[in-house]
Amino acid sequence: MNTYSTKTMDSLSKPIMMRTVLIGLIFSVIVSLWGQYASAQMNYSYITRTQIPLCLLVPFLLLILFPNLLLRLKNTSNALTTSELITIFCMGLVASTVPDWGMVRYLISLIAAPGYFASPENQWVEHFYEFLPQWLVLSNDNGEVSDFFAGLPSGRSIPWHVWVLPLFWWMSAMGVLLLVGACLIVMLRKQWIEHERLRFPMGEVVLRLIEMDDDGSSIPRLYRNRIFQTGFLITFTIMVWNCVSFWEVLPRIPINPTVSLIIDPTFPPVNIRLAPYVLCFSFFVNLEILFSVWFFQLFRIIQTGMLNQFGISSPSTSIVPGGLVSIQFCGGLIMFVLWGAWMARDHLKQVFRHAFGRETKLRDEDELFSYRTAVFGLIAGVAYLIAWLYAIGFTLPIAVLFLFFLYVFYIGLARVIAEAGLIHLDLPINANTFTVGMVGSANMTGSTLTGLGLTNAFARNWRTFTMVGLAHVAWLREYIWPNRRMLVLWISMAFIVSVVTSLMYVIYSGYTQGADNLNINLTNTGILFYNLIINWMRNATRITEMEIIFLLSGAAINMLLVAGRVFFYWWPFNPIGFVIGASAPIMNFMFSIFLAWLIKFLLMRFGGVGLYRKTQPLFLGILVGYVLGVAVAYVVDSVWFPDSPHVIEIF
């Protein structure tokens, strides 16, 4: 679905001015601050979880898009153009990867937890304290960490200076992680977008919301569409009704019901849960992918139940949560990425030849930056990351292996979302845990295991560093005609201001209110991460023969699915459905995805593509009504129920 014609872009695009960058930076601060504040104070942490989170979409609609439509009504030349709107959205998208679940919750927990929670009972001091790099964590010598978790005593000032050193070194590594990701996206963009023609359904939804018509109308066609208005009014009315029900004067209308069907005690439950946000984005996903996702969820349920009935299971030290079937899906993911790299081999050879000054047919004027910068940035970035991992205790071979698994999972998730557009997706496997399992904890030094525990700051992060946001920025960049090369600078600035805003807010709130009183659960997160190191040291964690069999079988199944698509035109399965079969959000929202498939299938079956396209505004209206309904619920909770927010209709 290409929303904009060349004529439209010509008529609506003009050079990106500094006002756009300034608005984008202010917007990035708002996205970061609201995402962090709503999570810490109001327990609205779910607004930071999805790939396009509500902490981005709510302020974008209320503060950028809708005010801009009002400006257009007045026929003023001050209204933002399409290119400017997309630029601001890209900056906000990158900024939204930082607050709470994006990055901050993990990072602050790892920095602060050792100095406060170490005790004779957990034996942290005896097992790994000698291996902890003191330049990455806070000491509690003068009570700085105790004051952070419990709150500052009266008369004492916030010790900002103690945070500077650990945050500097952490952010140096995280900045390079993002640089390497950006380099990989530049190298893969042409392969994904021009050769494989991935659709980026999430980006298509954004473009539909932003689209401006070239017929001279002040209000875009979408917002004048009666079907859109119907979907919006129904959903928004229900959301407002439910807000009024907070006072118990009206019965609540459940729009997110949850039911678990139990086939048999040995089988996992079938989750029947309707999530409007997931449903609306899923409606724009390819029909084959939607079918494959829910089909392989049934495959997971049946296979897990049968294994349980035969008494076949993973040991308690399994490297992947979810047991043998989840390991099988992870084998499919690894093969999915390796096969994608093989398919891109010719293009990547050309990229490297171009970077080293050889003659090629490639042109990099349309990339975020040049291929030379990407290749040498990749080499320098990987070298720095290996050095950084070595400095925190890794041995060199483990550092290289860990980075390989890390970027396999990162690229896998970015590639899946680029094609599938599933709004809520993560993976069940973390690169550090997988590395320990493949090598064996007994074969690693204490310093390496401690270093692997510290990488929980980014090894288990499926939003910030996975290149999902960067890949969509690279795709949306095609709709920003002037100043394309400057976009990478602007999104970098947006990330920096978001990091500073979120970190300063959490540190300030911790010292003024006590981090234990915030709703971002820093205590349990920090204890979980460091207890993982203890578990590795005390228990011999290593992949078993049975797990290897299922891992290899997953790789084989993935290749069969690929072969089916190549050789049989009628083949109904997409490998993506198998690859993400162990994802917890996919398990939870299987019914919403199934419902999106069923509706889309019936529309295509009885009305063809035309009827499907006519129905799209309905789901866009439901989406906008839901997003604005969340905004209303947040305001009501903030004003009337700040101590007991309802957090309605979470997903």
The Cα 283–Cα 272 span in angstroms is 18
Q: What is the SS3 assignment for 144?
A: helix
Q: Identify the residue with better confidence: 429 or 110.
A: 110
Alpha-carbon separation of residue 540 from 435, 440, 447 (angstroms): 13, 7, 16
| pLDDT at residue number 323 | 85
Domain-embedded: residue 415: yes
- Mean predicted lDDT score pLDDT of the chain: 92
Residues 136-148: what's their mean pLDDT? 94
| pLDDT at residue number 6 | 45
Residues contacting 119, CB < 8 A, separation 6+: none
Domain-embedded: residue 600: yes
How many folded domains does the chain comprise? 1
Enumerate long-range contacts of 481-486, CB under 8 Å, 24 or more apart. Answer: 481/9, 481/13, 481/83, 482/13, 482/14, 482/15, 482/16, 482/83, 483/15, 483/16, 484/366, 484/368, 485/368, 485/369, 486/16
Q: Give the lowest-confidence range in 66-70, 190-194, 255-259.
A: 255-259
Per-residue pLDDT tens digits for 535-557: 999 988 888 899 999 999 999 99
| pLDDT at residue number 100 | 92
CB of 236 closer than 8 Å to CB of 34 = no
pLDDT at 11 over 50: no
| pLDDT at residue number 1 | 45
| pLDDT at residue number 314 | 67
pLDDT at 214 over 70: no
pLDDT at 247 over 50: yes
pLDDT band for 429, please (50, 70, 90 cuts).
confident
pLDDT at 298 over 50: yes
| pLDDT at residue number 10 | 46
Residues contacting 74, CB < 8 A, separation 6+: none
Domain of 340, in residue numbers: 6-640
Domain-embedded: residue 145: yes
CB of 619 closer than 8 Å to CB of 231 = yes
Domain-embedded: residue 649: no
Per-residue pLDDT tens digits for 485-523: 789 999 999 999 999 999 999 999 999 999 999 999 999
Residues 75-94: what's their mean pLDDT? 90
| pLDDT at residue number 586 | 94
| pLDDT at residue number 154 | 85
Per-residue pLDDT tens digits for 346-359: 999 999 999 999 98
| pLDDT at residue number 263 | 86
Domain-embedded: residue 645: no
Domain-embedded: residue 648: no
| pLDDT at residue number 649 | 58
What is the share, in percent, of the chain residues with pLDDT greater than 70?
A: 95
pLDDT band for 219, please (50, 70, 90 cuts).
confident
Residues contacting 135, CB < 8 A, separation 6+: 165, 166, 169
| pLDDT at residue number 460 | 78
Residues 89-114: what's their mean pLDDT? 95
Q: How far is CA 480 from the centre of its chain?
A: 23
Backbone angles phi, psi at 268, to 5 degrees: -60, 150
pLDDT at 8 over 70: no
Backbone angles phi, psi at 233, to 5 degrees: -65, -40
| pLDDT at residue number 74 | 82
Q: Give the lowest-confidence range in 108-112, 316-320, 324-328.
A: 316-320
CB of 550 closer than 8 Å to CB of 331 = yes
Per-residue pLDDT tens digits for 339-392: 999 999 999 999 999 999 998 889 888 899 999 999 999 999 999 999 999 999
The Cα 57–Cα 629 span in angstroms is 12
pLDDT band for 311, please (50, 70, 90 cuts).
confident
| pLDDT at residue number 77 | 76
**Structure-token match 């698994």, residue found:** 405
pLDDT band for 307, please (50, 70, 90 cuts).
very high
Residues 556-578: what's their mean pLDDT? 95
Domain-embedded: residue 647: no
Q: Give the lowest-confidence range in 319-333, 342-356, 433-447.
A: 319-333
Residues 79-100: what's their mean pLDDT? 94
The Cα 526–Cα 606 span in angstroms is 54
Per-residue pLDDT tens digits for 254-280: 887 788 888 888 899 998 988 999 999
pLDDT at 228 over 90: yes
pLDDT at 125 over 80: yes
